[in-house]
Amino acid sequence: MRIYVGNLPYSVTDDDLRNLFSEYGALSSAEVIKDKFSGQSKGFGFVDMPNQSEAENAIKELHDSPLQGRKMTVNEARPRADRPPRRF
C-alpha cells in the first residue's frame, strides 16, 4: 500500500521517514518529495508498505501525531489527477 505523509517539517529526510514507519512493519520505500530545481523538501512524502494490515495500522497510529513539532497527515495515497500540459 502506498501511503501519503503530509505536513512534514522541511528538515525531515528519507531516512527519518524510513525509521518512523519501520516500527510498524516492512517497507518497500520511503521518499520525501523535493523540488527538482532547489532540492528543498516540499513538505510531503510517500511510504510503500507491502503488507496491507501493517500499512493500515501505521496510518491509524501516525495520523495527526507530531513529528518535530508538526502534526503529520497520514493516509492512503490517491492517484494524482490528470492535469493539462503546462505551457511556458
Sequence-separated contacts (24+) of 62-65 with Cβ below 8 Å: 62/5, 62/20, 62/21, 62/24
pLDDT tens digits along 17-73? 999 999 999 999 999 999 999 999 999 999 999 999 999 999 999 999 999 999 999
pLDDT of residue 87: 76
Inter-helix orientation angle 52-62/14-22, to 10° = 110
Q: Given a cut of 90, is residue 5 above it in pLDDT?
A: yes
CATH assignment, 2-62+69-76: 3.30.70.330
Q: What are the boundaries of each domain within the chain?
A: 2-62+69-76
Read off the pTM: 0.89
